[in-house]
Chain A
Amino acid sequence: DAMVIQNPRYQVTQFGKPVTLSCSQTLNHNVMYWYQQKSSQAPKLLFHYYDKDFNNEADTPDNFQSRRPNTSFCFLDIRSPGLGDAAMYLCATSKSGTSGGGNEQFFGPGTRLTVL
């Protein structure tokens, strides 16, 4: 089945120790997103790739970076995790919007990050 896969599902890191989360997709979608979701809150968009074009949200901390080496894979790098970065990180994909606007975003299962 075509899907969005995230690894690992659970990640524990130490304060200040760099961590990388990965996302892969078999949907061949050209848009990929990274969201941060904290408990009882809506997903918060960090950045997205439209093909190879990187789009950073204005309020995404510099501590967060991303790489998309090819259509199928996208990585989220947290350079120096702080306690406030503990959250669920969701990857999502979509086809680029038609003239009618946006399209469904397909979410991965998420990676729950714990910072000790």
Chain B
Amino acid sequence: GENVEQHPSTLSVQEGDSAVIKCTYSDSASNYFPWYKQELGKRPQLIIDIRSNVGEKKDQRIAVTLNKTAKHFSLHITETQPEDSAVYFCAASNRKYGNKLVFGAGTILRVKS
């Protein structure tokens, strides 16, 4: 089945700096890649997603890039703010497995003010 690896496991940045989280996936047939943000004690919430027919997507301070050849995708957060502090999960989805999400292990992002 699909396997998703996520790095780093923790990331500390200074407020205003950029943060980058990277994920790799194993099955080249995966075609949907969402990113979820989960604050302590709360539900995961989708912040951005990308499909395999595009290479980059941006929404204000958040962007995702996808490299299908290398089978990796990355989350970029610019001008980080303290409220960006949370756990971020990447995931991959594949029709072969019923479009279930396979999650990465998560990245704890701390934005220091």
Residues of chain A having any CB pair with chain B under 8 Å: 31, 33, 40-43, 45, 48, 50, 55, 90, 94, 96-97, 100-110
Write the nearest CB–CB distance from A61 to chain B, whole angstroms.
Answer: 18
Chain A contacts for B51, CB-based, 8 A: 100-101
Chain B contacts for A97, CB-based, 8 A: 32, 93, 95, 99
Measured in the bound complex, the distance between the Cα atoms of B93 and A31 in whole Å is 14
Interface residues of B in 1-20 (CB under 8 A from A): none
Check B42–A101 contact: CB distance below 8 A. no
Check A41–B106 contact: CB distance below 8 A. yes
Chain A contacts for B45, CB-based, 8 A: 107
Residues of chain B having any CB pair with chain A under 8 Å: 30-32, 34, 42-46, 49, 51-53, 89, 93-95, 98-101, 103-106
Interface of A is mostly: loop
Q: Chain A: which residue is nearest B92 at the CB level?
A: A102
Measured in the bound complex, the distance between the Cα atoms of B97 and A48 in whole Å is 12
Check B31–A100 contact: CB distance below 8 A. yes
Q: Chain B: which residue is nearest A42 at the CB level?
A: B103
Chain A contacts for B94, CB-based, 8 A: 101-102
Check B101–A45 contact: CB distance below 8 A. yes
Check A109–B34 contact: CB distance below 8 A. no
Check B106–A42 contact: CB distance below 8 A. yes
Check A50–B103 contact: CB distance below 8 A. no
Chain B contacts for A108, CB-based, 8 A: 43
